[in-house]
Every structure is written in structure tokens, then in C-alpha cells.
């Protein structure tokens, strides 16, 4: 805890120095030159909530940002000199098909949480800011919750009850998730993030089923929060000019799946949005930010124009539109030492000042494509939307 506070204090102090001394603008110029003449910033959000403090007690922290802080982020992007544009504009500038008079910022949302419809949509409309929402279509219009939210909820229940699971009765990989949490070497959210990137969807659902059984079952074992938009809400946003991209059907990390599952998840997600909303879906977000040459091949073969990662490095003019870098934002990226909002810290984050100075450690998104395992061959439905509870 003390280390976290110290790091935050150092970062806030550095941001204040860079912002008020003019160094931030100098670094922005440097980044602009390195990027080929224009910066193309793509920011990623998940949930925009009305009560951040209350929601923090029951949800994955890194997915949350308060409605007021989100508004300030949009204001901060404009004050930093960015033009807020759609994903197509950014791809066109990046490819050299057109020039931009200003640096560009694209606002994206992953997962289609209903919070975005309730709390971000009105702000974006009011401010005239476009955005794209990437949808895992098997969840839209249902009461289902994402595996990451369900596992987080269950692990918190385990902690609150001081319950020690019977590991022999859980799938073997569960030890890789629960072990670090029980030993205190990782927080629940950190352990989840690492685990979801290593194991395919059917392993996650098997662990969820086993944990729920050990905890006695009941509706309280499923999180109330984390509901997803329905198609009527999606269509209202589309009519207002907002775009929607594909994000698989079942929110699967596709680098862990065989080619047949990749093709199904990509195509069915695309087709569902086109059927329900109209238009052509041309943009894709990789679950967990992980991608491979095989996934890109499937996207290109099916008419997509872009794929976004969660790699926090600058986009460059002439770069690959299927490995677009994004900066994943949440509430604490803007919090000062005393817990107040720091505008200096926010614009330094948006301008990637800390990355330019080597203070960030981005995680690469490119991964080797997993071959179909024996379990997947014997269980061909693994990873499909039919696995969803």
C-alpha cells in the first residue's frame, strides 16, 4: 500500500512539473514527429458509473470510471489539442488516405455494458463526441454476466466468507487462479487478468460452476452489476451516430482457440450486429487485447478494416490498422495524492508523457496462436456462445 501511494505521489509530482513547465507540450511535439506527423490516440473504457466509490466495493476496479471523471477526460482531450473523431477517420489518416489538421483521439468502449448507455452516452451526445462500442453479441439483450465479472464476484465471496475451497473438487487450473489470491501475492483483479489470458473459455466456466457448487448455489452468487445493453439501446445509440464493432460472441480470448472457433466468433458477432442494427461492421476489438497473425487473417478475409489491441504504445502513420494501440483508462489514472482529480495528471496520461520518458511498461498483445488441444478436439463446442451460463 505504501509503495502504491509513493508511486502515485511521484507520478503526480512529475505530471505537475511537466504540465506547468511546458515540458508536456515539448514531449507532445516529440511524439508527433516520431508518429509520422500526427498523433493518433485511441482511448479505451469499459464501465462509466454514477457512484464510483459504491461500485468499487463490488466490481473490478480497472473497469470503472465515474461519470464526472469521464466528462473531464473528454474535456482534457480537447484542451490537450486533440480532435475527437471516429475510428474510420483515424484509420484513414493512419493509412495516408487523408491528412489531419490536428492530432486525433478516438473514444472506444469494450463489452457493451449498460452503464455506457446510461452515463456515457448523454455526455458524448452533449459534447458532440463520436465513439465506437465493441459488442460481445451473445450477451446483448440477456441477463448473462461476463466470466470475468462472475469470477471476481465469486472470489470476493470466498474472501468475505473466509472460505477455503476444496481444491481437489475444482478443475486443476483453478489453483493458478486461487493460489495467488489466497497467498496474497496478487489481488483478485490482477490474478483474474493473468488467468483469463492463459485459459480458454470452457476452463473459466468449469471453474465458475465448481465454485458455485461449493458455495452452495443461489442467485447471490451471480453479480447484480455488469448488465449489458439490449438491442433497442444499441439501436438508439446507432441512430444517434455512434458506431458498433465486433468483440466476439462469448467474449473469448481468441489466441487460445482453434481456427474454427475464431471464424465462428468473429463472423457471428459481425452478422448479429449487422442484422440487428444495419450497416456493415468493419471494426474489431481483441478480447484481453491479445491477437495473432491467424486472427488478423480471419479479419482481413471477412472485410474488416481495423482491429484494436490494449497495447499502450503510440500509433504511427503507416502502421498496421489491425494492431491499433489503445490506452486503457479508468478512474485512478486521474487521481491525485489526496484523492482529488488532477487535470495535469490526466493530460499527461493522454499525451503519453510517462511512456515517452520510459516510465510505463506496456504489455505486448501479439501472442502465438494456440493449437487445438485434445480437450477442444473432444469438446468441439468449447469456446462457443453455447458454453455461456
Q: Where are the domains of the chain?
A: 38-138+242-334, 147-224
Residues in the chain, total: 389
Take residue 211 and report the three cell numbers written for it: 465454485
pLDDT in the model for residue 337: 86
Take residue 285 and report the three cell numbers written for it: 476489438
Nearest to 36 by CA among 315, 355, 348: 315
Distance CA 37, CA 33 (A): 5
State the CB neighbour count (10 A cutoff) for residue 160: 8
pLDDT in the model for residue 224: 95
Residue 113 has what DSSP assignment? Answer: B
Distance CA 265, CA 258 (A): 11
Residue 120 has what DSSP assignment? Answer: I
Strand partners, 251: none
Q: What architecture is the 38-138+242-334 domain classified under in CATH?
A: Alpha-Beta Barrel (3.20)
Q: Is the pLDDT of residue 154 over 90?
A: yes
pLDDT in the model for residue 108: 98
Contacts of 26 (CB under 8 A, 6+ apart): none
Q: Is the pLDDT of residue 383 over 60?
A: no
pLDDT digits (tens, 9 = 90+) for 11-52: 999 999 999 999 999 999 999 999 999 999 999 999 999 999
Average pLDDT, the chain: 92
Q: Is the pLDDT of residue 63 over 60?
A: yes
> Region 136-145: what's the mean pLDDT?
98
Strand partners, 339: none
Take residue 381 and report the three cell numbers written for it: 463446442
Contacts of 89 (CB under 8 A, 6+ apart): 100, 104, 106
Query: Which residue intervals of 35-66 are DSSP H helices?
Result: 52-56
pLDDT digits (tens, 9 = 90+) for 254-313: 999 999 999 999 999 999 999 999 999 999 999 999 999 999 999 999 999 999 999 999
Residue 366 has what DSSP assignment? Answer: B
Report residue 372's pLDDT band, with 50, 70 and 90 as the boundaries: low
Amino acid at each position: 500500500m505504501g509503495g502504491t501511494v509513493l508511486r502515485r505521489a511521484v507520478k503526480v509530482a512529475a505530471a505537475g512539473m511537466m504540465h506547468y513547465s511546458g515540458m508536456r507540450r515539448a514531449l507532445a511535439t516529440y511524439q508527433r514527429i516520431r508518429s509520422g506527423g500526427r498523433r493518433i490516440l485511441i482511448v479505451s473504457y469499459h464501465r462509466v458509473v454514477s457512484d464510483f466509490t459504491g461500485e468499487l466495493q463490488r466490481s473490478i476496479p480497472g473497469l470503472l470510471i465515474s461519470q464526472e471523471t469521464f466528462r473531464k477526460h473528454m474535456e482534457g482531450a480537447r484542451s490537450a489539442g486533440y480532435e475527437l473523431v471516429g475510428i474510420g477517420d483515424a484509420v484513414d489518416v493512419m493509412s495516408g488516405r487523408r491528412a489531419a489538421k490536428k492530432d486525433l483521439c478516438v473514444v472506444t468502449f469494450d463489452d457493451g455494458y449498460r452503464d455506457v448507455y446510461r452515463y456515457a452516452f448523454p455526455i458524448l451526445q452533449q459534447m458532440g463526441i463520436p465513439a465506437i462500442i465493441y459488442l460481445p453479441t451473445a450477451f446483448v439483450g440477456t441477463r448473462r454476466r461476463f466470466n470475468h465479472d462472475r469470477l471476481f464476484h465469486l472470489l470476493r465471496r470466498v474472501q468475505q466468507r473466509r472460505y477455503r475451497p476444496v481444491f481437489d473438487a475444482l478443475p486443476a487450473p483453478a489453483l493458478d487462479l486461487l493460489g495467488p489470491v489466497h497467498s496474497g501475492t496478487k489481488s483478485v483483479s490482477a490474478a483474474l487478468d493473468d488467468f483469463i489470458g492463459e485459459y480458454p473459455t470452457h476452463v473459466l466456466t468449469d471453474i465458475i460452476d465448481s465454485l458455485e457448487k461449493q458455495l452452495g448455489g443461489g442467485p447471490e452468487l451471480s453479480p447484480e452489476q455488469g448488465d449489458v445493453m439490449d438491442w433497442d439501446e444499441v439501436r438508439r445509440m446507432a441512430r444517434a451516430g455512434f458506431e458498433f464493432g465486433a468483440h466476439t460472441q462469448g467474449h473469448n480470448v481468441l489466441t487460445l482457440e482453434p481456427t474454427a472457433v475464431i471464424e465462428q466468433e468473429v463472423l457471428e458477432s459481425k452478422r448479429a450486429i449487422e442484422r440487428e442494427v444495419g450497416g456493415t461492421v468493419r471494426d474489431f476489438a481483441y478480447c484481453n487485447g491479445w491477437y495473432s497473425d491467424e486472427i488478423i487473417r480471419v479479419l482481413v478475409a471477412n472485410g474488416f478494416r481495423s482491429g484494436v489491441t490494449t497495447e499502450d504504445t503510440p500509433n504511427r502513420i503507416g502502421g498496421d490498422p489491425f494492431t491499433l494501440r489503445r490506452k486503457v483508462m479508468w478512474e485512478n489514472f486521474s487521481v491525485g495524492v489526496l484523492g482529488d482529480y488532477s487535470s495535469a495528471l490526466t493530460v499527461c496520461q493522454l499525451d503519453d508523457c510517462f511512456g515517452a520518458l520510459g516510465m510505463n511498461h506496456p504489455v505486448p498483445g501479439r501472442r502465438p496462436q494456440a493449437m487445438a488441444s485434445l480437450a477442444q478436439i473432444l469438446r468441439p463446442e468449447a469456446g462457443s456462445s453455447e458454453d455461456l451460463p
